[in-house]
Amino acid sequence: MNVALLAEYGPALLEGFVTTLLLSAIVLAIATPVGALLALMRESGQPILAAAATVYVSVFRLVPALLVLFFTFYAMPQFGIRFSPMGAAVLGLSIIGSAYLSEDIRGGLSAIDAGQYRAAKALGLGWGHTMRRIILPQAIPIILPPYITRAIIIVKSTSLASIVAVADLTGQAVRAASITYQPFPFLITAGLLYLAISGLLAVFQAWAEHRVSHERRVALRTRQAGAT
Amino acid sequence: MKLDFSILTVVWPALLNGTLVTIALTLSVLAIATPLGILVALGRGARSSALRSGLAAASWVFRGVPPLLILFFAFFALPVVGVKLPPLPSAIIAMSAYMAFYFGEVFRSGLLSVPAGQWRAAEALGLSPVHTLLRIVLPQTLPAALPPYISHATEVLKGTALAAAVAVPELTSAAKQVFVVTYRPFEILIAAAAIYAVLDSALLLLQWRGERWAARRRAVRPR
C-alpha cells in the first residue's frame, strides 16, 4: 500500500540521505582537527592557551546543540553575517562536535605515561617532534574507539539541521510525512538509513579495534624476538 | 548592530516560563526513564533468551536513531494509531523511550559489577528476588552507576531543547518565540544559554558530590 508513496518520495529521501552523509563528513572533517588542536592546547602547558581551550570546551558542552545552531542561524545575521541553512548547520555542529571530540582526544593523550614526554625531552626532541613521533602513534589506537562512538553521535546530531531548514534525511522524511499524513513509511525508512550509517561505523570500529590489538601483538612479539 | 541586553527586562517572563517547562520535562523524563532503565538492565540479564535478544535489538535501534527522529515519530505517528496527545506528554513519552535504553546500558554495567554469587547466596538465605534486588544488589550498584547516570541526566536536560521542534514551549522554543518578535536573537539566546549552563552546572555539582560519596562507599566496603 505504501510502495507507491515510497516510490514518489523515494528520490527526496535519497537526496536527504546524501545531504546527511555530506553534512556528517564535512562536520567530522572540520571538528576532528579543531578538536585535536583544542586537546593539544589543553595539554601544552601554556596557561593562556590551556585556559582558552578549557573555557571553549566547557561552555559548548554545557549548552544544547540546538541552541548553538540557533546562534549561527538566527543570531549571526544581527552582526551582518548571514549563512545559508547548510552553512549555519555545518558551523554550529562543528563547534559542538569539536568540543566533545577534544575531550575524547585528550583522554587518549593523557593515557600516555608522563615519563615519555620527559624521556623525549631528555633526548632533545622538540614538542612537535615528540607529539608526531612518540605520543600520537601510541595515543591514536587508544583514541580510535571513543572517536568512532563520538562520530556516530555526530551523525545522529546532524538531524538537528532539519530544524534550521536543511533538507537532510530527517527534514525530508518529516516533510513527506506531513504532506501525505503517512508518517510510518517515511520515518521508519529514515530510521533504517540512520541505523545503516551507525551500524557501518560500529563494524568499522570493531574491525579497527581488532586490527590495532593485532598490530600490538605483532609489535610485542617482534620486540621479544629482538631481545632474545 | 550594538548589543542591548535591556531587552531581557521585557522578555524575562517568557524565558522563566520556558525554564520551568524545561525543568518539568527533564524531571518527568528522569522519573520515567530511570525505573524503566533498571528494568531494561534486569531484562538483559534475564534467563529468557527471547527477552534478552529482543531488548538488545530494541536498545540498538533506540540508541542508533537520532533522538529528534524519535520525537517526530511520537508527534506524527502516535495520532495515526489513535493516541492523540498534547505536545508535552508526547515529548515525555519519546524522550523516556530512548533514555530508558541509554540508562539501561548504564545500569547493566553497574549490575554486572555485582558478582552473580550474591544472587545465589541471597536465594540460599531465602530472600525473594525483589528483596535481593532492592536490598542487596542495587545498593552496591549505585556507587558504580552514579557518575555515568548523572552525565546522562545532563544529556536529558540538553536533549529537552529538541522538544522545541515538536511545539513544546520549553526554554529554547520560548527564546525563539520572543526573538522572532523583538529581532534580538543574540541577547536572548545568550540569556537562554546562561540558564542552561546554570541548570547543567547544578547537575554536575551533584555528580561531583556523588563521586565523592561513591569513593567513600567503595573505600569502607570490606574486601
Write the single-letter amino acid at B157.
L
ipTM: 0.87
Q: Are A21 and A197 in contact (CB under 8 A)?
A: yes
Cell of A144: 580510535
- At residue B66, φ and ψ (nearest 5 deg) are -60, 135
Q: Are B214 and B146 in contact (CB under 8 A)?
A: yes
The answer on pLDDT for A221 being more than 90 is no
Close Cβ partners of B9 (under 8 Å, ≥ 6 residues apart)? none
Are B172 and A162 in contact (CB < 8 Å)?
A: no
**Angle at CA A147, nearest 5°, toward A44 and B215?**
75
A vs B: CB pairs below 8 A: 112
Are A64 and B73 in contact (CB < 8 Å)?
A: no
**Count of structural domains within chain B:** 1
Alpha-carbon span A177 to B79, nearest angstrom: 13
List, for residues B114-169, the tens digit of each pLDDT value: 888 998 899 999 999 889 988 888 888 887 788 889 889 999 999 999 999 998 99
Q: Indicate which CATH number applies to the domain containing A115.
A: 1.10.3720.10
Cell of A79: 552582526
List, for residues A110-153, the tens digit of each pLDDT value: 888 888 888 998 999 988 888 888 888 888 888 988 899 999 99
Are B172 and A71 in contact (CB < 8 Å)?
A: no
Residues of chain A above pLDDT 90, percent: 61
Close Cβ partners of A104 (under 8 Å, ≥ 6 residues apart)? A35, A143, A146, A147, A149, A150
What average pLDDT does the segment B203-221 reach?
78
Alpha-carbon span B175 to B11, nearest angstrom: 9
List, for residues A39-61, the tens digit of each pLDDT value: 999 988 899 999 999 999 999 99
Q: Indicate which CATH number applies to the domain containing B159.
A: 1.10.3720.10
Taking the Cβ of residue B217 and every Cβ of chain A, the question of whether any pair is shorter than 8 Å is answered with no
Cell of A212: 590495532
Q: Measuring CA to CA, which residue among A40, A98, A110, A43 is closest to residue A65?
A: A98
Are A75 and B186 in contact (CB < 8 Å)?
A: yes
Q: What is the pLDDT of residue B223?
A: 46
Q: Measuring CA to CA, which residue among B166, B158, B145, B153 is closest to residue B68?
A: B166
**Count of structural domains within chain A:** 1
- A 39-98 residues inside an 8 A Cβ radius of B: 59, 62-67, 70-71, 74-75, 78-80
Range of the domain at A81: 3-227
Alpha-carbon span B97 to B91, nearest angstrom: 10
Q: Which residue of A has its CA nearest to B72?
A: A174
What average pLDDT does the segment A193-214 reach?
88
Long-range contacts of A216-221 (CB under 8 A, 24+ apart): A216/A141
Are A67 and B192 in contact (CB < 8 Å)?
A: yes
Are B66 and A62 in contact (CB < 8 Å)?
A: no
Q: Measuring CA to CA, which residue among B69, B149, B46 is closest to residue B105?
A: B149
Residue to test with chain A: of B5, B68, B184, most A Cβ within 10 A: B68
- B 166-195 residues inside an 8 A Cβ radius of A: 172, 175-176, 179, 183-186, 189, 192-193
Q: Are B150 and B206 in contact (CB under 8 A)?
A: yes
What pLDDT band is residue B45 in, cutting at 50, 70 and 90? confident
Alpha-carbon span A162 to A152, nearest angstrom: 18
Alpha-carbon span B155 to B72, nearest angstrom: 19
List, for residues A4-39, the tens digit of each pLDDT value: 887 889 899 999 999 999 999 999 999 999 999 999
Taking the Cβ of residue B165 and every Cβ of chain A, the question of whether any pair is shorter than 8 Å is answered with yes
Which chain B residues contact residue A75 at CB under 8 A? 185-186, 189
Are A65 and B161 in contact (CB < 8 Å)?
A: yes
Give me chain A's average pLDDT, please.
Answer: 90
Q: Are B65 and A191 in contact (CB under 8 A)?
A: yes
H helices of A44-130, in order, are 47-62, 65-70, 85-110, 114-122, 127-129
Alpha-carbon span A108 to B5, nearest angstrom: 41
Range of the domain at B57: 5-220
